[in-house]
Amino acid sequence: MKKTPVILDGDPGHDDAIAWVLAKASTQLDILAVTTCCGNQTLEKTTYNAGRIMALIGLDVPLAAGRIKPLLADPMVAPSVHGVSGLDGPDLPSPLREPLTIDAVTLMAQCVEQQSDQVALIPTGPMTNIAAFLLLYPQLKNKISHIYLMGGGIGHGNWTPAAEFNILVDPEAADIVFRSGIPITMAGLDVTEQALLYPEDFDRIGAIGSEVAKVTAGWLEFFYGFHRALGYHGAPVHDAVAVAALIRPDLLTFQDLYVEIETTGDYSRGATIGDVYGISNKPANVRCIVDIDREGFVDLLVDAVRFYGRDADE
């Protein structure tokens, strides 16, 4: 089977990290590069964390840091969710490699130019780099097959009542991406808050016994700490749903929608406004994920972690 070339762009972050564990374990994906953005923590911290995750999972591909700030907004970080390091919890190895001296957008362009096939992008943080790529390299737009993103929520937000964190950090970037015409699959809060791993699922992962298994269970435990205090019964592994959308769409239910990003608004900046009733008569620009087979998703993650128990060259 031909692999899909992908670029992972994120702000790791516990659930970004688990999304990358899932992506690396998939035989369906050819990961060309990892790029980082500011979001859960500063760009310096997310880039360092990306290097540490890559070392843990043996993901030996080019890494480049993106823009130090959102396109227009001031940076916003989330230490309450991911800790001061941006990836608090279990000890991790030192970064496998230093980030390249070129920036994320240049690396994306190089990877895309070198591929004869189209490339899919999987952003799991604010979409600053993706928007910058589209602004700086419009001639490469047609080489992007699809954007599988974690962000937004048609029903509600999580950082304000209206806005989800990734979109709120850089609404102008999200607006550029959502208007791009590139096929988009949106793993928003509507589904990702159902993508819960419960404590017994952490135990199942930890019991696999490999280093990746123990660390992943520790990440889940840490991430759950924040959510438990809010009344969740498990850890919502938001970002891994964006990867699952590409490799296991059979676990998911989709709804095509026209979605706009609110970039102004007294109360609603960063909201993803979905035209659920077709009032605008505008064609759908987003395939929203609205439901998930939770147990199938847990099995998918467990199987992914098992991959690292084997010889990674297998």
Active site residues: 238
**Quick check: 184 and 178 in contact, CB under 8 A?**
yes
The reply on whether position 78 binds ligand BDR by CB under 6 A is yes
- Report what 81 binds from ligand BDR, Ca ion, none; CB cut-off 5-8 Å by kind: ligand BDR
Smallest gap from residue 13 Cβ to ligand BDR (A): 4
67 binds ligand BDR (CB under 6 A): no
Q: Which partner from the list Ca ion, ligand BDR, none does 272 bind, CB cut-off 5 to 8 Å by kind?
A: none
Spatial separation of the C-alpha atoms in residues 106 and 66, rounded to whole Å:
9
Q: Which residues of 223-254 are buried (b: 16+ CB within 10 A; e: fewer)?
A: bbebbeeeeeebbbbbbbbbbbbbbbeebbeb
64, 187, 260, 276 from 282: Cα distances, Å: 37, 21, 11, 11
Among 4, 9, 14, 16, binds Ca ion (CB under 5 A): 16
**What's the min distance (Å) between Cβ of 157 and ligand BDR?**
9
- Distance between CA atoms of residues 4 and 197, nearest Å: 27
CA 60 to CA 213: how far, in whole Å? 19
DSSP per residue over 143-198, as a string? GEEEEEEE---SS--SSSSS--HHHHH-HHHHHHHHTS-S-EEEE-HHHHTT-EE-
For residue 125, the Cα-to-chain-centroid distance in whole angstroms is 6
Write the interaction track for Ca ion spanning residues 104-143; mark x where CB under 5 A is met and - where it is not: --------------------xx------------------
- Smallest separation, CB 230 to Ca ion (Å): 17
Stretch of 8-16, 41-49, 60-68, 91-99 contacting ligand BDR, by CB under 6 A: 8-16
Q: Which of 9, 103, 193, 239 binds ligand BDR (CB under 6 A)?
A: 239
Is there a cis peptide before residue 225, judged by omega within 30 degrees of 0?
Answer: no
Q: Which of 4, 35, 40, 272 binds ligand BDR (CB under 6 A)?
A: 40
Q: Which of 31, 128, 132, 164 binds ligand BDR (CB under 6 A)?
A: 164
Binding residues for ligand BDR, rule: CB under 6 A, are 13, 15-16, 40, 78, 81, 124-125, 150, 158, 164-166, 238-239
Binding residues for Ca ion, rule: CB under 5 A, are 13, 16, 124-125, 239
